[in-house]
Structure 1
Amino acid sequence: MFWEKLEKIEGCDFFKEIEDSTNIELIKFFLKYIFQGDKSYSKLLKNVSKDEKEMEEKDTLIQYLTLIIVANTRYYNLFIKNYVKRYFENIEKTLNKLPNKVSVWEFIKVSAHSRNNDLKLESLELDKGVVDISPVRETYYMELIRVRLREMVERIKADSDRTILEHEGVQEIVKFMEKMVKPQDVGGIKAVNFQGEIPLEWHPPCIRKILEDILSGGSPSHYARRSFVVYWFCAKFNPNLRPLNKEGELVNISALDIAKSEEAIENFIEEMLKLFSNVEDFNPEKTRYYICHNIGYKVADHLTHCEYCKNWREDGGKGLRYYCNPDEICRMRRNGRPLVIHPLDYLCYNINRHMKRKKR
């Protein structure tokens, strides 16, 4: 795949290549493509290349130079996420040509570094050291790319010249990137301290609808169940927790960091088990395992965050969009931007509104 080409030019003279104004311009356009989906990059690349071979070589160089720069900024996680998205947009028509079977060791390498609950070896067919990934093929290849990119980023960070960000050309690119990718998901609403039971109507429509499905014996998708569990956990112990921090980096935090005591966590798990006993495919052992995994307790060391609202709307077949029915609070805006960008924002808005009324 593409990283094989990138690995071949790892020894290129970065500072020499970054002196080329054409390369700087191409890097900017490539970043616009990755973060915004702007297709001007391919046109510019074609204009500065003599033929297909040169265009391919130049593209590989630009991608690698970009990766070096991004790896030295706080935006590398966002870059990887968007790179995977663009890559799959390009190969969508040929996705079915990717192999359905992979070596068990390749699968383990990817799944061990992935946070996707679908990549579980025990749920797939294994025959003579080969795993049939047909049921999770797209997920597997997305995670494969993410893992390989992250490995390259870590390698670049470890070997990087610390003066790289002092280079004038690099500073120009970083400033360009900062203007374009200021994390818009960071922010939302923070709640003041609140003690007491949270009324059902304070929760967002998506969460209420999943709860209704569960209580009525329905069978919400895996992602819907996961989103509900982690939302409910955070709503109970820390409604101000969000997936990204101020720098736009993923917040890795365990259940104990949030709830502070094992007793509180165990009580929460029992509450969830009682709730999920209503669903048609309820299995207490599996349900307990997934709850623990999702909240980052014992079987995992980090919480799997509830998705941002935009990911509910553009769920990629995860079964979240079905539950996304915005009401007037969801649609509220401040300075032209959505006020609620995460399900917990909805809860925090209602907590704050209640506390203000209480003071009057």
Structure 2
Amino acid sequence: MIWEKFDMIKDCDFFKEMENKVNIELLKYYLKYIFQGDHSYYELLRIISKNKEEKDTLIQYLALTILANTRYYNLYIKHYGERYVEEILHKLPNKIPVWEFIKVSAHSRNNDLKLERLNVDNGLVNIYPVKRIYGIELIRVKLREMIDKIRANSDRDLLEHEGVQEIIRFIEGMVKPQDIGGIKAVNFQGEIPLEWHPPCIRKILEDILSGGSPSHYARRSFVVYWFCAKFNPNLRPLNKEGELVNISALDIAKSEEAIENFIEEMLKLFSNVEDFNPEKTRYYICHNIGYKVADHLTHCEYCKNWRE
């Protein structure tokens, strides 16, 4: 996998490589493979490069460096996991050391990767029942670690480079805005910046967009927060004594059309999640926001300081 091969290109000069027209062309074909499943990339790679593995590692490094500095990184992680999960499954044994398992599961909100749900014997965890889930989560964790390191060391002028801008425009032509989790709020022009949301909500959103599987509690908290952020960011469901009061979706959004549109937005967002079921998801969204199947908003304390 990419994180295992970085020694091949550790001395490469990013900006110099981005001046290479062949690399730019290969990057476009690679991104078409990642986002659209077009296999022409590997055919072109075989024709162009004598050292296919090293060139592939370089192209993946260039792509990751660019995407790490854009809003498309979560979607890239999701699609990368889908494209390369079979490769990692071939390498994974059915039993792995417990600390190796914990390194991945500790950064995952997937309930299926709770250690207590799996068999542990002589320091080895039997991951066979959840091998595919573990493989995808391993990819997500590794790529996020790489993205964090890349961001910390990126040149501030990276996005100004002509070749980088060309690749970003190419990505924008393939990716729909709704696929990256933007939110438009009532009485606010444009999309709410991601950094305006609480860290816990941003983490849940990143999990959803990158193809993870947040816990039901995390999903519930996210839906309630996102609903209120969209229709009434200043909502405080408390009476004068500071006690919780019940309010419904219609008390907040004012119209069924607005609520239905919100539900469709959430269904589109949650379709990124591996265990997505549209009927169940719709029911839970309605229940969480107090619409039709429930008469009040679900009170969540994912952030303990929400009362303030």
Confirm or deny a common fold (TM above 0.5).
yes
State the TM-score, normalizing by the size of structure 1: 0.56
Q: Distance in 2 between matches of 1:226 and 1:58?
A: 42
CA root-mean-square deviation: 4.1
State the TM-score, normalizing by the size of structure 2: 0.64
Q: Could you tell me how far 1:238 is from its partner in structure 2? A: 5.8
Shift in CA distance, 44/97, structure 1 to aligned 2, threshold 3 Å: closer
Q: Does residue 80 of structure 2 align to residue 83 of structure 1?
A: yes
Secondary structure of 2:54's partner? helix
Secondary structure of 1:239's partner? helix
- After TM superposition, the structure 1 = structure 2 runs for residues 154-173 of structure 1, keeping only pairs within 5 Å, are 154-173=148-167
Contact kept in structure 2, 1:24 and 1:169, CA below 8 Å:
yes
Aligned to 1:59: 56
| Equivalent AA in structure 2 for residue 32 of structure 1 | K
- 2:67 aligned residue (55, 62, 70): 70
Q: Could you tell me how far 1:62 is from its partner in structure 2? A: 0.5
Aligned to 2:206: none
Q: Could you tell me how far 1:239 is from its partner in structure 2? A: 2.8
Q: Could you tell me how far 1:142 is from its partner in structure 2? A: 0.8
Contact kept in structure 2, 1:191 and 1:240, CA below 8 Å:
no
Q: Could you tell me how far 1:99 is from its partner in structure 2? A: 0.7
Q: Could you tell me how far 1:179 is from its partner in structure 2? A: 2.4
- After TM superposition, the structure 1 = structure 2 runs for residues 201-240 of structure 1, keeping only pairs within 5 Å, are 226=216, 230=219, 234=223, 239-240=227-228
Aligned to 2:95: 101
Aligned to 2:130: 136
Q: Does residue 45 of structure 2 align to residue 45 of structure 1?
A: yes
Q: Distance in 1 between matches of 2:140 and 2:110?
A: 11
For each residue in 1:12-59, what CA deviation from the matched residue of structure 2 results, as whole angstroms up to 9, or x when unmatched? 111111111000111111111111222221122122124xxx112111
Larger radius of gyration: 1
Q: Could you tell me how far 1:226 is from its partner in structure 2? A: 2.7
Determine what percentage of the aligned residue pairs are the same residue: 52
List alignment gaps of at least 5 residues for structure 2: 188-212, 248-263, 293-308
Contact kept in structure 2, 1:69 and 1:170, CA below 8 Å:
yes
Aligned to 1:112: 106
Contact kept in structure 1, 2:223 and 2:285, CA below 8 Å:
no
Secondary structure of 2:227's partner? coil
Shift in CA distance, 80/60, structure 1 to aligned 2, threshold 3 Å: same
Q: Distance in 2 between matches of 1:140 and 1:58?
A: 28
| Equivalent AA in structure 1 for residue 29 of structure 2 | F
Aligned to 1:206: none
